[in-house]
Chain A
Amino acid sequence: MDLFPQFLANGLVMGVFYALSALGLTLIFGLMRVVNFAHGEFYMLGGVSGWFVTNHLGLDFFSGLIVVAASMAAVGWLVDRFLIERVRGQGEEPGILLTIGLSIFLVNGTLLLVGPAPMKVAGAVAEGPLFFGPVAVTKLRLLAVAVGIALIVGAHLLIRRTRLGAAMRATFQDPMAASLAGIRTGHVYAATFALGCTLAALSGMLLASIYSAQASVGGLISLKSFVVVILGGMGSFAGAIAGGLLLGVAEAMWGGYVSMGMVDVIGFVLVILILLFRPQGLFSIRTERA
């Protein structure tokens, strides 16, 4: 029992990154209705490019973070304008296939360029534990979590307080009315996709500073992000955060008390149960049924 606070802390740390990545997906999947199987690859690209800018270009962690954010936003924008836009409004299938193709391309392109070895992003502070009573957390983790939380707050303010955010909300309520009101919906879609992409990439880079980035990690991350989005409810901002924390804690508890090997099963079992018993998601107010 004395390990409980430690497991809880570890779970919450992981949960913040799940939440950050799922926040990106809830924009793309929940609002734009693109079943984006390349989401984990954007996460992976964030980690790999974070490694590249900190280790090869010699930037420090924070300027690296900004460079990665800017370049992944550009990537997301281009992907939406050149690929996703062409299949918009044709149902889910073309989008699923397109993003599966994109994810195969990105994984193997990355493998071709940097190889399969794990890549460590240079962290901003030294490794070293801090003790809060019985709980030990490394400084690096604490910093990464702080940055993650700041990013979540930033994304929230962007959506709630800016003109772009207002345009996004209008577009996803009614694209036709929004475009009649003079909103350039094409740009709004691209900006939303870019934002989702950036959030995934930054989550990847932060986590790569704690663990390491690997070209092949994307598939599992995509699935877990989908799990979190469904747990929290489609397109729900608070739901994605709560779902991410829930998944992180559930995995840490399962890994701590039951078995390490089956940890990844938790998310899938949760999502199957959720869709059976509460298909609108745990935290969704809108009654959108599966």
Chain B
Amino acid sequence: MTLERNILLALLAGAALLPFAVSDQYILHLAIMALFYAVLATSLNLVVGYVGEFSLGHTAFLGTGAYTAALLSTQAGLPMWITIPLAGLVSAVFGFAIGAITLRLQGPYFVIVTLSFAEVLRIVANNWIAVTNGPMGLAGVGQNLFGDMAVTDKAGFFLIVLGIAAVALYLSYRFVYSNAGRAAVAVRENRFVAQSIGVDPFGTAMQAFVLGAFLAGLAGGFYAHYISFVGPEVFRFSFMATMIIMVLLGGKGTLIGPLAGAVIVTVLEEYLREMQELRLTLFGLIVMAIVLFLPNGLMGFIALRREQQAPRPTLNAAKERTV
């Protein structure tokens, strides 16, 4: 717990120095995207890793946040410091509504229904031309932070997304180590035992779900301003696939895992970009390889190695090895 907190603090401090050390715009863009995905992966991890239900509809919240920020900016001309938090709040409201329906379901049903919600929102965004401008999307989202003060360079955007990431990690950290977070883990491990000691599975899952939706909305709001364009693609399954891969590659149910996953996948996607069409084909193969050979993600692998190297094998280590 303290180790995790110290690592996170060190990472954030290190990241804050990056724009002063690096002036290469391309590397800064990569770093911004990595942090954006880190926020998304962290928010998805709250549902997948701590509630233990597999949500495939997380793009619903990303997209809602992005459209909220884009509409507030293009229609009302509001600056970023208002639109991004509002994007988070609107997503949280959506999270509450969707969660109230979906969290009653479990297993494959939960998976399909969350996915259905994301698809419904995508189709609505594609067809409700009066508001969303349909497939053309909303272009020219403003880039002003306060009033007329515009963010013009990548370093500025980097600091903003770093701030969002810090908020996301702080809230996740506080949630995970609160009673509600521990209750969520208890439900994840054994629903019936948790219920028998008085944990309300629906309520705890709801807290994590709404928090996850809020954070994804923040990320979506940032995305709208940074890219300056929002189209129905934000609801696409490919975003979802990227998020899941990050969470599972890094290791779900840990706070550092999704961060590591986000950085690795962003860099990997960029590196494979040189191979053009082969890129996604290889990406698919890599995903399958992770599932088969690294089922608990990188953090699980590291934990396993540490236990193996410990002088006397504990019962836990023996159990891990057979998994």
Partner-B contacts on A (CB < 8 A): 29, 33, 35, 83, 86-87, 90, 92-94, 96-98, 100-109, 111-112, 219, 223, 226-227, 230, 259, 261-262, 264-265, 267-269, 271-272, 275-276, 279, 290
For B131, what are the chain A residues with a Cβ–Cβ distance below 8 Å? none
Please, which residue of chain A has its CB at the minimum distance from the CB of B295? Answer: A94
Q: How far is the CA of A44 from the CA of B117 in the complex (A)?
A: 24
Classify the secondary structure of B's interface with A.
helix
The answer, among A92, A102, A271, for a CB contact under 8 Å with B116, is A271
The answer, among A33, A104, A290, for a CB contact under 8 Å with B283, is A104
B72 at the interface (CB under 8 A from A): no
What are 17 pairs between A and B in contact, CB < 8 Å?
Answer: A86-B292, A96-B54, A96-B111, A97-B244, A97-B290, A97-B291, A100-B241, A100-B287, A101-B288, A104-B241, A105-B285, A107-B284, A108-B281, A259-B127, A268-B119, A275-B109, A279-B109
Contact across chains for B105 and A83 when beta carbons are under 8 A apart: no
The answer, among B101, B109, B120, B244, for a CB contact under 8 Å with A100, is B244
B195 at the interface (CB under 8 A from A): no
Q: How far is the CB of B2 from chain A (nearest CB, A)?
A: 29
Contact across chains for A230 and B112 when beta carbons are under 8 A apart: yes
For B283, what are the chain A residues with a Cβ–Cβ distance below 8 Å? 104-105, 108
Q: What are the 9 tightest A-B residue pairs by CB atom distance, in nearest-first order?
A: A105-B284, A101-B287, A104-B284, A290-B109, A108-B280, A268-B116, A101-B288, A261-B127, A108-B281
The answer, among A83, A108, A230, for a CB contact under 8 Å with B288, is A83
Q: How far is the CA of A33 from the CA of B281 in the complex (A)?
A: 26
For B287, what are the chain A residues with a Cβ–Cβ distance below 8 Å? 97-98, 100-101, 104-105
Q: How far is the CA of A104 from the CA of B109 in the complex (A)?
A: 22
B115 at the interface (CB under 8 A from A): yes
**Are A94 and B291 also in contact (CB < 8 A) when A261-B126, A265-B124 are?**
yes
Contact across chains for B108 and A98 when beta carbons are under 8 A apart: no
Contact across chains for B116 and A106 when beta carbons are under 8 A apart: no
For B56, what are the chain A residues with a Cβ–Cβ distance below 8 Å? 96
Contact across chains for B120 and A108 when beta carbons are under 8 A apart: no
Contact with A along B115-134 (1 / 0, CB 8 A): 11101100110110000000
For A264, what are the chain B residues with a Cβ–Cβ distance below 8 Å? 119, 123
Contact across chains for B113 and A275 when beta carbons are under 8 A apart: yes
The answer, among A86, A111, A230, for a CB contact under 8 Å with B109, is A230
For B124, what are the chain A residues with a Cβ–Cβ distance below 8 Å? 262, 265
Contact across chains for A223 and B115 when beta carbons are under 8 A apart: yes
Contact across chains for B111 and A98 when beta carbons are under 8 A apart: no
Q: How far is the CA of A261 from the CA of B295 in the complex (A)?
A: 41
Contact across chains for A276 and B101 when beta carbons are under 8 A apart: yes
Contact across chains for A29 and B116 when beta carbons are under 8 A apart: no
Q: How far is the CB of A33 from chain B (nearest CB, A)?
A: 7
B278 at the interface (CB under 8 A from A): yes
Q: How far is the CA of A264 from the CA of B39 in the complex (A)?
A: 31
Total A-B pairs, Cβ < 8 A: 120
Q: How far is the CA of A271 from the CA of B288 in the complex (A)?
A: 29
Please, which residue of chain A has its CB at the minimum distance from the CB of B112? Answer: A226
Contact across chains for A104 and B280 when beta carbons are under 8 A apart: yes
B248 at the interface (CB under 8 A from A): yes
**Are A262 and B123 also in contact (CB < 8 A) when A92-B54, A100-B287 are?**
yes
Q: How far is the CB of A114 from chain B (nearest CB, A)?
A: 11
Contact with A along B257-296 (1 / 0, CB 8 A): 0000000000000000000011111011111101110010
For A272, what are the chain B residues with a Cβ–Cβ distance below 8 Å? 101, 113, 116-117, 120
For A83, what are the chain B residues with a Cβ–Cβ distance below 8 Å? 288, 292
The answer, among A96, A105, A219, A268, for a CB contact under 8 Å with B281, is A105
Q: How far is the CA of A267 from the CA of B112 in the complex (A)?
A: 12
Q: How far is the CA of A107 from the CA of B285 in the complex (A)?
A: 12
Q: How far is the CA of A105 from the CA of B119 in the complex (A)?
A: 22
The answer, among B105, B123, B244, B284, for a CB contact under 8 Å with A108, is B284
For B248, what are the chain A residues with a Cβ–Cβ distance below 8 Å? 93, 97
Please, which residue of chain B has its CB at the minimum distance from the CB of A33? Answer: B108
Extra contacts, 7 of them, besides A105-B281, A290-B107 (Cβ < 8 A), are A94-B291, A105-B285, A107-B280, A112-B277, A223-B115, A261-B123, A267-B116
For A226, what are the chain B residues with a Cβ–Cβ distance below 8 Å? 112, 115
Contact across chains for A279 and B112 when beta carbons are under 8 A apart: no
Q: How far is the CA of A86 from the CA of B291 in the complex (A)?
A: 10
For B291, what are the chain A residues with a Cβ–Cβ distance below 8 Å? 87, 94, 97-98, 101
Q: How far is the CB of B303 from chain A (nearest CB, A)?
A: 18
Q: How far is the CA of A151 from the CA of B199 in the complex (A)?
A: 50
Which interface residue of A92, A104, A264, A276 has the most chain B CB atoms within 10 A?
A104
Q: How far is the CB of B102 from chain A (nearest CB, A)?
A: 9
B173 at the interface (CB under 8 A from A): no
The answer, among A92, A98, A271, for a CB contact under 8 Å with B107, is A92
Contact across chains for B295 and A290 when beta carbons are under 8 A apart: no
Q: How far is the CA of A35 from the CA of B113 in the complex (A)?
A: 13
Please, which residue of chain B has its CB at the minimum distance from the CB of A269? Answer: B120
B106 at the interface (CB under 8 A from A): yes
Q: How far is the CA of A98 from the CA of B244 in the complex (A)?
A: 11
Contact across chains for B241 and A35 when beta carbons are under 8 A apart: no
Contact across chains for A92 and B284 when beta carbons are under 8 A apart: no
